[in-house]
Structure 1
Amino acid sequence: MSTWVLLRGLMRETRHWGEFPMLFQNVTGAQNVVTLDFPGNGRLHAQASPGSVGEMADHCRMQLAKLGYAPPYHVLALSLGAMAAVEWSARHPDEIDRLVLINTSLAPHNPFYQRLRPANYPALLRFLISGSEFQREELILHLTSTLERSELQRAKLLEQWTSYACECPVTRANILRQLQAAISYRAAQTKPPVPLLLLAAQQDRLVSVKCSQTLARLWDCPIRLHPVAGHDLPLDDGFWVAQQAKEWLESEHQTAGK
């Protein structure tokens, strides 16, 4: 039985997946699709965020055990979530069957100016120091999505995200802890010891697509590029993400059967 675990990034929670988990399950035929929050986000917003990516990975393992899902797992992870997935696979390769990593970046393989585009520094600093929940969510939408929406669609999405932020507020202290964990994380020099697929958006405003391209070259693994989507690929084109995962799984099974 295949259990897919979905992990999101900085300041995001399970509700930010929207309809993607159901879509992913329908396209891939996965038996179980489990979405998890990192401490400090979503249902766990009252907890202190872990100070390291390794602690985030350990917390995922603990949550899954409590929920009754046994390894091995398939993991689809975005951005900071992908860092946790990489560390998880390095520490416990027997627990991870497959990895799909979306728009991630990793030190020491990617330089800092590609991991977070410098043009975003001023706006990010302003929103950390001040700004309402709505202003934060408005900035996040701008940085992570390139999908064209009507004014009504955009307003509805921001209203929804702002309600999440008010119901389960991510404190500035936890934002800083998550940022620090991401900045300080250093992945192993070697390729993750499990089969993996990289997905990246060529129009990502937050993280350069060169990060994923570099990892694909270093790890000699498949990569699929979306020509117009932004950093939050599952938001901008969830069907494409699910379809890429499905086709990759099918190719992996065909190769294993030879």
Structure 2
Amino acid sequence: MENVIATSAALGAVVGLILALTGAGGGILAVPLLLFVLHLSVAEAAPVALLAVGLSAAVGALIGLRAGNVRYRAAMLMAGAGTLFSPLGLWLAHRLPNGPLTLLFAAVLAFVALRMLRQANLSEPQQPTGGGQPLQPCQLDSRTGRFVWTASCTRALTLSGVGAGFLSGLLGVGGGFVMVPALKKATNAPVHAIVATSLAVITMVSASGVISTAIAGHMNWQVGVPFAAGAMVAMLAGRLMASRLSGHRLQQGFAIVAGLVAIGMAAKVALAA
């Protein structure tokens, strides 16, 4: 038992460090680590990952809230939609065979790796929307700094929350890789507001998934508690290192590692067949 606790804490520390250096999307490696090292199934590993990612995201969300960067109405709408669909993902995760679920996770991980590698390799930052391009559904009021709510804005944010919530329950991912691009596409909010709002949604949706899992009796607390504790400690320590390292190189490194892990997960399923 002591070996399991120590190993869980060490794995959590790895995830926390990745979160600090690469952002919330780094938490997607939590499930593969639990699969390969502790030999959990995806359905068993997903709630443990959610616990760690949710607590880590809460720290970033609180910092963003204090700085006034969280668009809390948008976050509550997205989290509300995500909370409704997270239990559906959990329900499905415990009924799908582990092989297909692992392949699905590998596909999502490969997608995240390719997108992050593409972003890291962009030589020039994207220019803001303008010059005849269609406006995003959600526009910030220049006087109040708040979104002007319309039917199309509400629909876009709700659908983003639904996708993030379902994937968080099904695969144990926070959903940042869904919400950040969705918010960039649906709103004209600045990047720091998008990231802070995304972290707030991840916190609330992850909490709903953890609570649902605990009520159903599927949470492995023996692994989950030390894993989450290790992630929190390493994330706080990693924040001190992040400013000294190249974000461009970190993104490239994370993308390569994530791609290799996705290949390994798919190979594991193929060999077990």
> TM-score, normalized by length of structure 2?
0.26
Q: Which has the higher contact order (CA 8 A, sep 6+)?
A: 2
* Greater percentage in strand: 1
* Greater percentage in helix: 2
Name the larger-Rg structure. 2
